[in-house]
Structure 1
Amino acid sequence: MAKGDVAKTGDVEMWNREEEEEAEEVAKGDVAETGDIEPSRMDERLERMNQAAQEGNIDAFYNLIWEDVNLLEYIDGLPFVDTPLHIAASAGHISFAMEMMRLKPSFARKPNPDGFSPIHLALQNEEINMVHRLLQVN
């Protein structure tokens, strides 16, 4: 189906919205020709995600996920990175960390650039309640 084509399904017309939205993003400059988010745009989103984790701001976190549903997958694909779970565990933001564990449990086992998992960072920062919660979940 070409961009803007209409598919008849009973009495309902369905536009090929995915292709239209992708074309709009390319036109705005948010997406490179490969369909990937431009590095500068991704860097900005990662910085905002890290800030949300540092503050324990779950609303800001979900706003970012709403903007880019693949953001956590992108972070998970990076080797040796401080994930939002690492940051929240270090800061003692239990609610944020538990939400992150619910959505992306693989972050609990992911090493950061220093080789530490989120539970190691919580221990280093004497966030004992966080350690207990991470042990309960994992």
Structure 2
Amino acid sequence: MDTRLFEAARAGNSDHLQQLLTENPFILSNTQLSAENPLNIAAAMGHVDFVKEILRLKPVFAGEVNQEGFSPMHIAAENGQVEIVKELMKVDVKLCRLEGRQKMTPFHRAAIGGRAEVIGVMLSGCPDCIEDETERGESALHLAVRNNRFEAVKKM
């Protein structure tokens, strides 16, 4: 990924993104989908407006899994980025069930992190996500209990 795009995503600078797009309208298209994309970075940093702009321009990034096996939804869920989770769910509620490394879904990542508010949002939009299991046969409830995430357990 172009380092200027990386910096814009890390800073959540939508104006810089627009400037980069003016200079090179294909800058997002030239970003390899299997690599870290600007949506992953902005999701991790909690930059809601930048996330909205990337989703408007390149919604396909929402369903892409990075080299570590995580999508923007995995990253946002794990970090408790509720507003970003909501924005990603507007693209596709099934992103809550997107399997990453070890068949782990964003819902599993939220459970591991004890992100009760994220869990509530995901369950309200995609109640079936509670049924998913990892490759080890663990449900989100198992993961929350094992990690002593009792607020998450109560939410489920």
TM-score band, normalised by shorter chain: 0.5 to 0.7
Q: How far apart are the structure 1 equivalents of 2:87 and 2:9?
A: 17
Is the contact between residue 34 and residue 64 of structure 2 (CA under 8 Å) also seen in structure 1?
yes
1:128 aligns with 2:76: no
Q: CA deviation at 1:52?
A: 0.5
1:96 aligns with 2:50: yes
Is the contact between residue 33 and residue 61 of structure 2 (CA under 8 Å) also seen in structure 1?
no
Q: 1:119 aligns with which of 63, 66, 73?
A: 73
1:62 aligns with 2:18: yes
**Structure 2: runs of 5+ lacking an equivalent:** 93-156
| Aligned length, in residue pairs | 92
TM score, norm. by length of structure 2: 0.56
Q: What are the Cα deviations for residues 69-107 of structure 1, in whole angstroms up to 9, with x where unaligned?
A: 1111111xx242111111111111111001100100110
User: Partner residue of 1:21?
Assistant: none
Relative to its length, the structure with more strand (as a share) is: 1
Is the contact between residue 62 and residue 73 of structure 2 (CA under 8 Å) also seen in structure 1?
yes
Q: Percent identity?
A: 38
| Structure with larger Rg | 1
TM score, norm. by length of structure 1: 0.63
Is the contact between residue 80 and residue 115 of structure 1 (CA under 8 Å) also seen in structure 2?
no
SS for the counterpart of 2:28 is helix
Find runs of 4+ consecutive structure 1 residues off by over 6 angstroms: none
Q: 2:59 aligns with which of 101, 105, 117?
A: 105
